[in-house]
Amino acid sequence: MTAAVRRRSQLLPSGRLRPGAAVSLPVDEVRAALELMLLSRRFDARAIAMQRLGRWGVHSPAEGQEAAVVGSCLALDPGRDWVVPQYRELAAYLHQGHGLERVVAAQMGHPQEGRIADEVRLLPVQVALAAQLPQAVGLAWGLRRQGQDAVVLTYLGDGASSEGDFHEACNLAGVVRAPVVFLLQNNGWAISTPRRLQSAATTLASRGPGYGFPGVVVDGNDLLAVHAVTAEAVGRARAGDGPTLIEAQTYRLGFHNTTDDPTAYTDPAELAAARALDPILRVRRYLTAHGAWDEEREAAACRAIDDRLDRAIARAERLPAPGPAACFDDVYAEPPPRVLAQRAHALAEAEV
C-alpha cells in the first residue's frame, strides 16, 4: 500500500454513465439525493440573503460540494453510524436526523436550538480546524471497544488536512484500526489559500497509505462515484478492516463564508470552468435521461423546499429572544469556573 488509488468517474458531466460503471444507488434513491442537494443549494441562497438582511449568523455555503456531502452521507445507516462534521455539511446533519428547523433557528440567534437530540448520531459543527478528527477517531474506537458495529464518517477540508490534529488522528486511527472514514473535501481553497500552497503532496489522499490505510481520490462532483467509494469504505470499517481516507476533488463555487469576497483572489475563468461541472447539473441530466425528472418535478421540489424553509424561519421568529446566558449553556456538561464566571458577569451586565 504505497499510493492513493484514483477512482474513475461513474456519472460523466454529460449526465451519462461511464460504460461498465457499477451503480450503487437505484434511480429513486438518486432522485431523493437530488432533492437533498437542491435543499442544500436553496438553503445556502436563503441563508446568504438573510445574512445580508442582518437576520442570520455567518454562513459557509456548500455550493458546488453537494455531491461530495450527499453522496457520502447516504452511505451511512443513521440509526447506527455517526457523522462528525466540519462546518459545510448541512445535508449530512439532516440525513442523521437533526432537524432543519433547529439549524435555521440556531443561525437566527437561538443558540439553544443548536443542541443535538440525544438519539441523533451527530457531533456539533467544528470551526477549530481539524479538532473534530481526534474526537472522531476516539468515538469510532470507543464504539468498537463497546462491541458496536457502528462507523464514524468525519468531514474535513483541504486546509484542515495541514493541521497537526489531522495527522495525529490518522496515526491513531491506523494503529487501532478505528472504524472511521475521513471524507476530505478538497474544494480548491482554504479561504484564499489555493490547494497548491497547501501541501506538496501529489494528492491529499496519498497521506492515508503513510498511516497504514487506503487513500482514495474520487471525483467529488460525481454523486454516484462518491457514494460507491464511501459505501466501500464504510463496509471495510464495519468489517473491522480499519479507516479509509477519501479525497473528494470538488470546487467551492461560492465564497468561503459571508465575510469573504473571493473576487479579490479567484480567477473568473477557473470559476466558470468549475461551474460547468456543477454536481447538480450532472444528476439532473442523469435523472432526466432516465425519465425520472423533469421541469415540473423540479418546480414542485423547489416549492416544497422553500415552504420548509419559510416555515422554519417563521418558527424561529416566533421563539422568545434568548437571554444573555444562552450562549454559555449547552456548551459544557459541567461548565468550568471561568465559563461560570463569564456567564454570571453577562447576566449582571444585562440587569444594569
Q: Does 85 bind ligand TPP (CB under 6 A)?
A: no
> In degrees, to the nearest 5, what angle opens at C-alpha 102 toward C-alphas 97 and 109?
155
- If we measure between CA atoms, which residue out of 236, 95, 130 comes closest to residue 179? 236
| Contact map string, positions 118 to 157, toward ligand TPP, x by CB under 6 A | ---------xxx---------------------------x
Task: Output 159 or 242, the one with its CB closest to Mg ion.
Answer: 159
Task: Output 131 or 292, the one with its CB closest to ligand TPP.
Answer: 131
What are the grid coordinates assigned to 63, written together? 455550493
Partnered with residue 122 across adjacent β-strands are: 83
User: Cα(50)–Cα(2) distance, rounded to whole angstroms?
Assistant: 48
| Residue position matching grid coordinates 457499477 | 22
| Residue position matching grid coordinates 468489517 | 239
23, exposed or middle or buried, with CB in 10 Å at 0-12, 13-18, 19+?
middle
Task: Output 158 or 247, the one with its CB closest to ligand TPP.
Answer: 158
Give, for 152, the enclosing helix (H) or strand (E).
strand 152-157
Q: Could you confirm whether 332 is annotated as catalytic?
A: no
The residue from 191, 271, 325, 327 that contacts ligand TPP (CB under 6 A) is 191
- If we measure between CA atoms, which residue out of 234, 278, 205 comes closest to residue 80? 234
Residue of 207, 252, 282, 343 marked active site: 252
Residue of 31, 88, 256, 282 marked active site: 256
What are the grid coordinates assigned to 133, written together? 478528527
Q: Could you confirm whether 256 is annotated as catalytic?
A: yes
Q: Could you confirm whether 252 is annotated as catalytic?
A: yes
What are the grid coordinates assigned to 18, written together? 461511464
How many residues touch ligand TPP under the rule CB under 6 A: the total is: 14
Residue of 52, 80, 145, 265 marked active site: 265
Contact of residue 128 among Mg ion, ligand TPP, none (CB under 5-8 Å per partner type): ligand TPP
Q: Does 59 bind ligand TPP (CB under 6 A)?
A: no
Q: Which residues bind Mg ion (CB under 5 A)?
A: 157-159, 187, 189-190
Task: Output 212 or 262, the one with its CB closest to ligand TPP.
Answer: 262
Query: What is the smallest separation between the CB atom of 298 and ligand TPP, expressed in angstroms?
Result: 27
The residue from 158, 219, 232, 278 that contacts ligand TPP (CB under 6 A) is 158
- If we measure between CA atoms, which residue out of 136, 199, 190, 282 comes closest to residue 4? 199
Show contacts with ligand TPP in window 88-107 (CB under 6 A).
88
SS3 165: helix
Task: Output 190 or 313, the one with its CB closest to ligand TPP.
Answer: 190
Q: How would you classify the pairing of strands 189-190 and 193-194?
A: antiparallel
User: Cα(178)–Cα(241) distance, rounded to whole angstroms?
Assistant: 8
Task: Output 50 or 125, the one with its CB closest to Mg ion.
Answer: 125
* Burial call 183-198: b when 16+ CB within 10 Å, e when fewer: bbbbbbbbeeeeeeeb
Query: What is the smallest separation between the CB atom of 116 and Mg ion, expressed in angstroms?
Result: 24
What are the grid coordinates assigned to 218, written together? 474520487
C-alpha radius of gyration, the chain, whole number: 20
Give the residue closest to ligand TPP by C-beta: 157
Task: Output 12 or 48, the one with its CB closest to ligand TPP.
Answer: 48
Q: Does 182 bind ligand TPP (CB under 6 A)?
A: no
The residue from 30, 152, 169, 190 that contacts ligand TPP (CB under 6 A) is 190
Give the residue closest to Mg ion by C-beta: 157
Q: Does 189 bind ligand TPP (CB under 6 A)?
A: yes
- Which residues are designated catalytic? 252, 256, 265
What are the residues binding ligand TPP (CB under 6 A)? 88, 127-129, 157-160, 187, 189-191, 252, 256
